[in-house]
């Protein structure tokens, strides 16, 4: 994929219950996501993309990594609804989380956005979106 994918930003009131760890390396990902840029790292030596983004390729151990855009679509591999949430997420429960297989072949875990009519089914098409909290972004998937 050669073009930058922009994900829809969905405003969310409040702050993230469990903000991700930031480092000099991950700052590129989180700053991009804040602007709706959906990207990860790709190895210049073997060509594999990785998610989450990594400074070293887990396939060939090369440090020749660069940022590459991801497509926004995929399919739901599996999901669950969490009713008895850890204390830090208690105010958000119940909520759905899932495993998404992106069309590029990468698998990731994320929050699932739903409405009262959503019926989650493994294999269903989904698209990635950005949840724009007051303190920063998180990514999620929703049905197409």
Enumerate the β-bridge partners of residue 139.
Answer: 130
Answer whether residue 1 is part of any domain: no
Answer whether residue 82 is part of any domain: yes
pLDDT of residue 3: 65
Answer whether residue 62 is part of any domain: yes
Report the alpha-carbon distance of residue 118 to residue 129 in Å, rounded.
Answer: 16
Answer whether residue 2 is part of any domain: no
Q: Is the pLDDT of residue 115 over 90?
A: no
Cα 35 to the center of its chain, rounded Å: 14
Q: Is the pLDDT of residue 1 over 50?
A: no
Answer whether residue 98 is part of any domain: yes
| Domain harbouring 84, CATH code | 2.40.50.840
Answer whether residue 17 is part of any domain: yes
pTM score of the predicted model: 0.91
pLDDT (tens digit, 9 = 90+) per residue, 82-103?
999 999 999 999 999 999 999 9
Domain span holding position 54: 9-143
Closest CA to 74 of 50, 110, 45: 110
Answer whether residue 4 is part of any domain: no
Q: How many domains does the chain have?
A: 1
pLDDT over 70, % of the chain = 98
Tell me if residue 6 falls in helix, strand or coil: strand
Answer whether residue 3 is part of any domain: no
Q: Give the chain's length.
A: 144
pLDDT (tens digit, 9 = 90+) per residue, 26-49?
999 999 999 999 999 999 999 999
């Amino acid at each position: 994929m050669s073009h930058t994918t922009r994900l829809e930003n969905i405003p969310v009131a409040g702050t993230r219950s469990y903000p991700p760890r930031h480092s000099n390396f991950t700052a590129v990902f989180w700053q991009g996501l804040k602007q709706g840029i959906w990207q990860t790292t790709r190895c210049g030596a073997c060509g594999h993309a990785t998610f989450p983004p990594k400074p070293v390729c887990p396939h060939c151990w090369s440090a020749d990594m660069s940022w590459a855009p991801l497509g926004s679509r995929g399919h739901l591999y599996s999901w669950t609804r969490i009713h008895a949430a850890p204390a830090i997420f208690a105010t958000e429960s119940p909520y759905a989380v899932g495993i998404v297989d992106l069309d590029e072949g990468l698998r990731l875990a994320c929050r699932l956005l739903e409405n009262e009519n959503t019926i989650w089914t493994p294999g269903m098409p989904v698209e990635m979106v950005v949840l724009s909290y007051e303190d920063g972004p998180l990514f999620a998937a929703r049905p197409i």
